[in-house]
Structure 1
Amino acid sequence: MVAAYVLLAVIIVGFFAGSASFVVWEIENELIDKRLSHAAEHWAADSYNPVLMQTIDLSFLRGTQIPQPLQHLAPGTHELRLNGRGLHVLIGEVKGERYAVVDDQSDFESIESSSYIALGIAFLGGIALAILIGRASANRVILPLTKLASAVQDGQQAGDLPGLDATDEIGVLARAIEDRTNQLSLALQRERWFTADVSHELRTPLTIMLGAAEVLTSRLRDRPDLLVMTERIRRNASDTAQQVGALLQLARAPESTDLCLVALRPLVERELERCQPLLRGKPLTLQFEAPDEVLVQAIPELVTIMVSNLIRNACQHTEQGTIRVRLTACQIVVEDSGTGLPEAVRARLFDRFVRGSENFTDGSGLGLSIVKRVAEHLGWTVRHDPAATGGSRFTLKFAAT
């Protein structure tokens, strides 16, 4: 706003200053240069009238009468200072003899200088006045808005926002922000309560399901046909228990989550072992490449969810070939030799309820969206790229500890 006022003042005052300068220049041209030319015409036409010339304060010099400083001037009108006086001189030549018409304009130049000084003072005064008005307007209009924006950005509690009691537009905006903040806070609190309650209530039945599946596995060792179904029940119950644990962790704010040092190599190996049953009947192998142990600050349950989802998806969508899992100091890469993903699916791959293939129905389409949400919760990043083998490559990037 201050800049706008200053720009306006520059335009207005500059326009008037330019106009005044043009007027002064025109006055000088009309009253001085043309008067000199007119007098020279009279002198050249032999109509020289000494009385008239004295009346208009002009001096006529010719031949040797022309002072030495003026003799080197070329024909035409000149403006110069001589002995502290401002002179306008017209040099001409008639019948081979040079002449000079001299007009002393010291008084006019003094008025001209005063005019330019006055214009400069007016210009600077206009700029100063624009700054004062702009700052006053900014303090009246912009400053309350800036304070309100800073309070919202700093996360100031609702009810303490500045401007709530104001009756102008700032007050309307502050009250609208407070109402919206209260609604969002209540919605977020309800979501956290719901997630925590659901996670807590599901733990008991899932624990019972896992226990029952283990009992059935021990009693049906002589029935391989039933062991497959028992293993499926156990695996799904275990996966659901992991997801419930992840939801419980995600219900907490990231800044209030307690991180611990997690060893990634045994965690990835454990998930690879758990996914071995998914390879039955497929000419498919799992390869794991890892350097020495990699330690990161994270939450074990959440890291397990991400790694498990990526490896399980690769096993389910790859019919033959190799699934490579690489662990480095800064990332985990899961690459398969499957058919890859259609172009239309890649753009929204991490959205909820999006499946990698329309022909694959054994899934809810939530796995990758949970992976992305967990990664963001931990401050990690997840990215998908087409693999060189034609399949998919998922990269979990983290900060090494």
Structure 2
Amino acid sequence: MPHGLPRKIRIAFIVQMVMASLAILVAFYVVAILFKFGFIQATLRDEASHYWQLYQASPAQPPPNNFALRGYLVEAGYSNLSLPAGLRMLEPGFHDLADDGQLVWVDRRDAGTLYLVYLREQATRVALWFAVLPAMLALFAIYGATWLTYKASKRMVSPVAWLARLVSRWDPRHPDIGALAPDRLPADMEGEARQLARALHVLGGRVEAQLERERNFTRDASHELRTPLTVIRVASDMALEEPELSQRMVRSLQRIQRSGRDMEAVIDAFLILARESDIEPQSDWFQVCEVVLEEADSARTLLGDKPVVLEVHCNAKPQLYAPPRVLHVVIGNLLRNACSYTDRGTVEVTVDADSVTVRDTGIGMAPDALARAFEPFYRAAPERPMGTGLGLSIVRRLCERFGWMVELESTLDTGTVARVRFAAQPGGAAK
């Protein structure tokens, strides 16, 4: 789980620490500027005011001179040549002499001009103690709090992460439901995580039981349906061997045989749909035109006496690698729909290199009916007795199973065009 919940939490805390660090660094820079142009300037101004008060009491009072501060006084009427060269041209006010490493306050009064020089080295040291050190302590405090919060959050989400990893490794066909049994859960899994694991355990058991019932039903139904179909096929074969059968009886027996083959194809298709998608069914190369012609012969019996002509045009002879009976079911359903809903005109089947197209001149469908045509049990003309509404749904599911594409176009009172494309589709190849 490269993008799981623990990773997202870790990223969130890292972003939080980075943002906090940037905020503190910006705050430190602002504090340093304010310290230099605020605190130091105010200190020098106050120091100058204090000196002038002392000077009024005793003009012999010398300027301040200590470890961090140097003072120079140029009395009125005297030359400033006694000053250091860097101070002689300064006007009254605050000056930052970066080259000399000095912060200077010039205060001019009637009695003279006072120069107070604060060494930048001392200012930096004071700033370190009053600005940088508190900022660093605050930064370390934020890092520590973030780390502790991250560890606590990680402990809280670790049961959910463990559960997600376990479920993601399950084989969909044989999930390890027993791993979620209450006695096999981690000891630190409590609260909502344990409830979720318990619910998944119950749900997994129900799903597994349901899948087993479906497998058993599919296997048993396939066996039970094939047995009577085999009897019907053998009995019809034996009946057709009778020499004195009428043409009407021969046609009836042949229809019984075709219906039996159709039923076997439907059973095979249902079994394919019931299997897991990664289990490949037994496939062979076969001629698409042969399947279309055979299904067209079966569909002609549905037309009866209707003035409808069913035509087949094989413009190409593609071969398809798939279970042949699947295409029988697909084409058979499309042809039965076309014959059932066409009262006059033509039903035309065209086989091209990459597709089979069934075009009719039937009743067609309105746009809302066309949008629902592939829904199970939906019928565009429910007043007609034929059909259950499952044919097109089965066609779409089979085409999706083998990577084919089924398309439907229809105009009300004009006709319908159904097309199955094979080319460049995964799971089935045409050549």
Report the TM-score range of the alignment, normalised by the length of the smaller protein.
Answer: 0.7 to 0.9
Distance 2:82 2:370 in 1: 97
Distance 1:124 1:251 in 2: 62
CA apart distance, 1:183: 0.8
Aligned match of 1:255: 278
CA apart distance, 1:207: 3.8
Matches within 5 A, 1:198-213: 198-210=221-233
Q: Secondary structure at the match of 1:54?
A: coil
Determine if the alignment matches structure 1 residue 340 to structure 2 residue 337.
no
TM-score between the two structures when normalised by the length of structure 2: 0.72
Cα distance change of structure 1 residues 194 and 60 upon mapping to structure 2, 3 Å threshold: same
Q: Let me know the Cα RMSD of the aligned residues.
A: 4.3
Distance 1:10 1:347 in 2: 53
CA apart distance, 1:311: 2.7
- 2:94 is aligned, of 72, 77, 88, to 77
- Structure 1, unmatched stretches of 5+, are none
- 2:71 is aligned, of 56, 59, 73, to 59
Distance 1:234 1:119 in 2: 92
Aligned match of 2:77: none
Q: Secondary structure at the match of 1:134?
A: helix
Distance 1:99 1:289 in 2: 112
Distance 1:77 1:288 in 2: 101
Q: Secondary structure at the match of 1:178?
A: helix
Residue-by-residue CA offset, 1:327-357 (whole Å, 9 max, x unaligned):
434x544444444333333443323211232
CA contact (8 A) 1:88 1:104 kept: yes
Distance 1:227 1:314 in 2: 26
Distance 1:301 1:222 in 2: 29
Distance 1:352 1:109 in 2: 82
- 1:189 is aligned, of 212, 215, 220, to 212
Identity in percent: 25
CA apart distance, 1:80: 3.5
CA contact (8 A) 1:338 1:392 kept: no
Aligned match of 2:177: 158
Determine if the alignment matches structure 1 residue 317 to structure 2 residue 341.
yes
- Structure 2, unmatched stretches of 5+, are 1-8, 75-79
Aligned match of 2:198: 175
Matches within 5 A, 1:79-228: 79-83=96-100, 85=101, 87-90=102-105, 101-113=116-128, 115-116=131-132, 119-120=135-136, 122-123=138-139, 126-127=142-143, 130-131=146-147, 133-135=149-151, 137-138=153-154, 140-154=155-169, 155=171, 156-161=175-180, 164-166=184-186, 168-169=190-191, 170-210=193-233, 215=239, 221-223=246-248
AA aligned opposite 2:117: V
CA apart distance, 1:79: 2.5
Determine if the alignment matches structure 1 residue 31 to structure 2 residue 51.
no
Cα distance change of structure 1 residues 361 and 91 upon mapping to structure 2, 3 Å threshold: farther
Distance 1:386 1:246 in 2: 25
Distance 1:332 1:92 in 2: 102
AA aligned opposite 2:94: T
Determine if the alignment matches structure 1 residue 363 to structure 2 residue 387.
yes
CA apart distance, 1:68: 4.7
Residue-by-residue CA offset, 1:127-153 (whole Å, 9 max, x unaligned):
366246525642x33344233223222
CA apart distance, 1:17: 6.7
Distance 2:179 2:309 in 1: 61
Aligned match of 2:10: 2
Residue-by-residue CA offset, 1:212-249 (whole Å, 9 max, x unaligned):
667489866455xx888766655544433322232234
Cα distance change of structure 1 residues 261 and 113 upon mapping to structure 2, 3 Å threshold: farther
Q: Secondary structure at the match of 2:420?
A: strand
Aligned match of 1:391: 416
Cα distance change of structure 1 residues 121 and 340 upon mapping to structure 2, 3 Å threshold: farther
Q: Secondary structure at the match of 1:395?
A: strand
CA contact (8 A) 2:310 2:346 kept: yes
CA apart distance, 1:363: 0.6
AA aligned opposite 2:71: S
Distance 2:241 2:108 in 1: 128
Q: Secondary structure at the match of 1:254?
A: coil
Distance 1:332 1:241 in 2: 22
TM-score between the two structures when normalised by the length of structure 1: 0.76
CA apart distance, 1:77: 3.1
Determine if the alignment matches structure 1 residue 246 to structure 2 residue 269.
yes
Deviates more, 1:306-315 or 1:60-69: 60-69
Aligned match of 1:328: 353
CA contact (8 A) 2:334 2:358 kept: yes
AA aligned opposite 2:319: V
Cα distance change of structure 1 residues 79 and 198 upon mapping to structure 2, 3 Å threshold: same
